[in-house]
Structure 1
């Protein structure tokens, strides 16, 4: 069996880690367990030391994605498992992820059901993300933003330069795997109520999560987003021209502006498609 590394990003999650780490060690005694302390001010390091777990500490918080990247670089396993340090993910489910990974997949994601969503708003947003990602990729995406996943280390490290330092690393990594034709699978899980308070703030992070929608498109195929937008501007221009021609017998600036916008949006999509291709190019 390939050497396994389990990576847990954590920021002030000492109460959850005190329970979670012994359970992880008991279920996977052979695994390398790494807690990436993202500038915690609690006893995270002490909890890790008492549990015999490696702790990588940052002097200040750099974000969940930054912690994931640091852990992935430090891990020695051929298989990486990422799970939250807040106690939501069941260590027993790690074996289920690994079993599916051994069937030929390069990434396996734990997909939460509706009851495991952190509130109605988050549930609706995640449903929208899943739907859009499914339409973009042509493959079923059951939980785009789940932080509980198993990956092949060599494949995951190809995309470290694409991962943001914030909370959208799951979105970026999933779309990158689909774009590179690395097979992705989902298994259903139930996420428990987190221990402690969430670090995600709706007002602060609302715009950030909205931008995930555009990231979904630009990470996979920008033209799938920009061509419909261009077509919409073109049709609006035609509709405006038809209205003004019938009522005023002339072409107005409004129609010309919308047709110009259609061309500009299409060209932006074309350039974005070329840039996206360069992002995934592997040097020989």
Structure 2
């Protein structure tokens, strides 16, 4: 049976928050046809046991237990794969996202929008540890990818089923889902959401996620610009390498043939010239091969990157 709304919640060691979160969700979603999809991402505490107990007494709750800790993007992908809702909301399970915001978040979906980002306008968590890095990340996303949102990298989002069927989620790509969705032609907007202080447990946020996030941002930039035609980027690199090598070689040939000038570094420079020309040709050929691989990948079947141990 298809539910109107699926709320996907990745969980990793949140035993002190799950029951309270469930009660808040149940209260906030009264009168709505919904399901809750908890995804246990390799928790080592009692998180799965608590979720299993909740699911055994409530038909609105589904628990997906992953075999290992795959990371948030993969957990979200697993949850979306097992969700049956026409619309999907993703949110954190640490109680920092307020379930009361779900109703306002999904409202634009009924007006033709496909993705709604939760704009963390007022934050209850640490500005230095989370607020400032998030603002910097949003600044980079807006500048590099040309998206005009206050907050596109937050964890609380709403989107239609069609979006997750089209947009891939791996690595930390869930943060850039709005950007990838916009690139695919989906309509995106945002709504203000609250960010509360963590009620219990420890944050899983680490500053090295900034570096990983930047690498993923570069991947998204490359993906958007060249995913369907990788030949373009390799051809540019190859052409530059070829022209530098050609110009170096031509310079020394002109000196030798027309002016009779012989330089000691001529041999080494000519070798460098030939290497750059060959490298340029290789890049161009590699671009052709990458184009063929890309074409084949586009038509291939989507492959899952996780293993499910149990679904209850």
Shorter-chain TM-score tier: 0.7 to 0.9
Instruction: Tell me, in whole angstroms, the C-alpha distance in 2 between the residues paired with 1:210 and 1:232.
Output: 26
State the match for 2:40 in structure 1.
37
The one of 140, 143, 159 aligned to 1:128: 140
Q: Deviations over 1:86-133 (max 9, x none)?
A: 111111111111111111101111022374671434432332223322
Return the TM-score normalized by structure 2. Answer: 0.69
| Shift in CA distance, 176/122, structure 1 to aligned 2, threshold 3 Å | closer
State the match for 1:102 in structure 2.
110
CA shift for structure 1 position 201: 2.6
Instruction: Tell me, in whole angstroms, the C-alpha distance in 2 between the residues paired with 1:141 and 1:147.
Output: 14
Return the TM-score normalized by structure 1. Answer: 0.74
CA shift for structure 1 position 61: 1.1
Greater CA drift, 104-113 or 186-195: 186-195
Q: Deviations over 1:231-275 (max 9, x none)?
A: 9999x99xx9xxxxxxx9x99999999999899889988987887
CA shift for structure 1 position 192: 1.7
State the match for 2:254 in structure 1.
none
Structure scoring higher RCO (CA < 8 A, sep ≥ 6) equals 2
Q: CA RMSD in A?
A: 3.9
2:3, 2:35 within 8 Å by CA — same for their partners in 1?
no
| Shift in CA distance, 280/258, structure 1 to aligned 2, threshold 3 Å | same
Say whether residues 1:200 and 2:201 are aligned partners.
Answer: no
Structure 2: state its 5+ residue gaps. 249-262, 302-312
3-state SS of the aligned residue for 1:14? coil
Structure 1: state its 5+ residue gaps. 241-247
Question: Structure 2 matches for 1:39-78, cutoff 5 A?
Answer: 39-48=42-51, 49-50=53-54, 52=58, 53-78=61-86
Instruction: Tell me, in whole angstroms, the C-alpha distance in 1 between the residues paired with 2:137 and 2:84.
Output: 35
| Shift in CA distance, 73/263, structure 1 to aligned 2, threshold 3 Å | same
Instruction: Tell me, in whole angstroms, the C-alpha distance in 1 between the residues paired with 2:240 and 2:94.
Output: 44
Q: Which has the larger radius of gyration?
A: 2
Figure out how many residues of one structure are paired with residues of the other and give that number: 274
